[in-house]
């Protein structure tokens, strides 16, 4: 009887919570992506003006509910001196969203180096990765094939985990919902990183 009641309580009052890191170089559009995610998945969230978003120094946190899953986003600063802090969050995360500025060809190799260092971390073994080619609303941006080619020698390091490269415009919201929904499917089916239980508030 206890098991039945316990299961019923979890079904009615708890959600499975998954922690998702949003990583990438500074100015890639990580915080704008987070704001768009909250606007699209949280009914009463008004959102902040996207034009007022500044460089993240430290950490932004946001939560969205997608079906029975609750995603806790940790948007980490991407400046070089802050990248050394990323790995402090790896052990607890269930997924990674890596944001690339498709308009900044000059820093593409720098972004690739940061990505490569991240995927080689043993603490992220089996964790799904969504690579967002952001700022696709700008005519002069790099295409998805361009970015895949630039990152091609990272493929072997990604291994057998779920990984998707997707076009996105955090400013207009294009690709945001699709990216989040893909991530939810991946974290829910990943048996190696079970969710945390959180009471619904």
Q: Is 91 annotated as a binding residue?
A: no
Does residue 79 have an active-site annotation?
yes
Q: Is 197 annotated as a binding residue?
A: no
On whether the CB atoms of residues 126 and 93 are closer than 8 A, the answer is no
Return d(Cα 167, Cα 125) in angstroms, integer.
25
Please tell me what DSSP assigns to residue 128: -
Q: Is 7 annotated as a binding residue?
A: no
On whether the CB atoms of residues 86 and 78 are closer than 8 A, the answer is no
Q: Is 112 annotated as a binding residue?
A: no
Q: Is 31 annotated as a binding residue?
A: yes
Q: Is 62 annotated as a binding residue?
A: no
Q: Is 95 annotated as a binding residue?
A: no
**Residues with Cβ within 8 Å of residue 25, at least 6 apart in sequence:** 78, 100, 101, 104, 107, 110, 111, 114
Please tell me what DSSP assigns to residue 167: E
Pick the catalytic residue: 36, 79, 83, 113?
79
Residues carrying an active site annotation: 79
Which residue ranges are tagged as binding site? 24-31, 56, 78, 134-137
Which residue ranges are tagged as binding site for Mg(2+)? 31, 56
Which residue ranges are tagged as binding site for GTP? 24-31, 78, 134-137
């Amino acid at each position: 009887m206890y098991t039945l009641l316990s299961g019923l309580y979890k079904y009615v009052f708890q959600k499975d919570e998954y922690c998702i890191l949003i990583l990438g170089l500074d100015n890639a559009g990580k915080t704008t992506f987070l704001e768009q995610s909250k606007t699209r998945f949280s009914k009463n969230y008004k959102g902040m003006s996207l034009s007022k978003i500044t460089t993240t120094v430290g950490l932004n946190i946001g939560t969205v509910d997608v079906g029975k899953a609750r995603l806790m986003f940790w948007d980490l600063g991407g400046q070089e001196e802050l990248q050394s802090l990323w790995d402090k969050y790896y052990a607890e995360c269930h997924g990674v969203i890596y944001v690339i500025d498709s308009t900044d060809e000059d820093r593409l190799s720098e972004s690739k180096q940061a990505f490569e260092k991240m995927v080689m971390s043993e603490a992220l073994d089996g964790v799904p990765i969504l690579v967002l080619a952001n700022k696709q609303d700008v005519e002069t941006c790099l295409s998805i094939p361009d970015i895949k080619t630039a990152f091609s020698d990272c493929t072997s390091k990604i291994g057998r985990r779920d990984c998707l490269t997707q076009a996105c415009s955090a400013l207009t919201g294009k690709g945001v919902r699709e990216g989040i929904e893909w991530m939810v499917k991946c974290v829910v089916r990943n048996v190696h990183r079970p969710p945390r239980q959180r009471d619904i508030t």
